């Protein structure tokens, strides 16, 4: 398969991941995710943590929608610029529900191998999220907003 064909396939997979997430169809979403997917956070990489982090995020913001603003496909990596919108109705990172509606812009880098997601990096302004929730910045380990793609 050529690099161009892989880029097209990976772009379609990224769009399918976002669609499944927005449909709350987590079985379909995780069907293209490798069991040992790496979730890269600022300080480390965690294998197998993506599902737990996604479940916490999605239960805290059950009405969430993610909109793709820009998608840059590649043969191995896809960059997705996105906008996340949701209402904080469940506990997230130890923060009790506030009922606040949030809008957050971010970017994810998705790494694919053999048409399966094997790694993801997520970049978003967690401080902006905390300000919208009207909570003080927590101390200790930095919180990472996890949006699957």
* Residue 139 pLDDT level (bands cut at 50, 70, 90): low
For the stretch 110-132, pLDDT in tens is 999 988 898 888 898 888 899 99
| Structure-block tokens of residue 45 | 């990489």
- The pLDDT > 90 percentage for the chain reads 42
Taking the C-alpha atoms of residue 4 and residue 101, their distance in angstroms, rounded to an integer, is: 39
Tell me the pairing of strands 77-87 and 45-47: unpaired
pLDDT of residue 41: 63
What CA–CA distance (Å, rounded) separates 15 from 65?
Answer: 13
Q: 3-133 domain in CATH 3.10.450.50?
A: yes
Q: Residue 43 has what pLDDT?
A: 53
Cross-strand bridge partners of residue 111: 77, 119
Domain boundary assignment for the chain: 3-133
Q: Is 113 exposed, middle or buried (0-12, 13-18, 19+ CB in 10 A)?
A: exposed
Please state, in angstroms and rounded to a whole number, the distance separating the CA atoms of residues 118 and 121.
11
DSSP letter (8 states) at residue 138: P
A 10 A CB-CB count for 126 gives 18
Q: Which pLDDT value is given to residue 107? A: 94
């Amino acid at each position: 398969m050529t690099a161009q064909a892989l880029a097209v396939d990976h772009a379609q997979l990224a769009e399918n991941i976002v669609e499944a997430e927005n449909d709350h169809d987590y079985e379909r979403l995780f069907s293209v995710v490798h069991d040992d997917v790496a979730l890269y956070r600022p300080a480390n990489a965690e294998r197998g943590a993506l599902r737990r982090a996604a479940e916490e995020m999605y239960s805290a913001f059950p009405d969430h929608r993610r909109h793709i603003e820009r998608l840059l496909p590649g043969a191995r990596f896809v960059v997705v610029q996105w906008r996340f919108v949701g209402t904080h109705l469940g506990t997230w990172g130890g923060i009790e529900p506030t009922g606040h509606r949030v809008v957050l812009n971010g970017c994810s880098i998705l790494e694919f191998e053999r048409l399966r997601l094997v790694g993801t990096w997520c970049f978003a302004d967690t401080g902006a999220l905390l300000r919208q929730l009207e909570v003080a910045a927590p101390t200790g380990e930095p919180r990472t907003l996890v949006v699957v793609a």
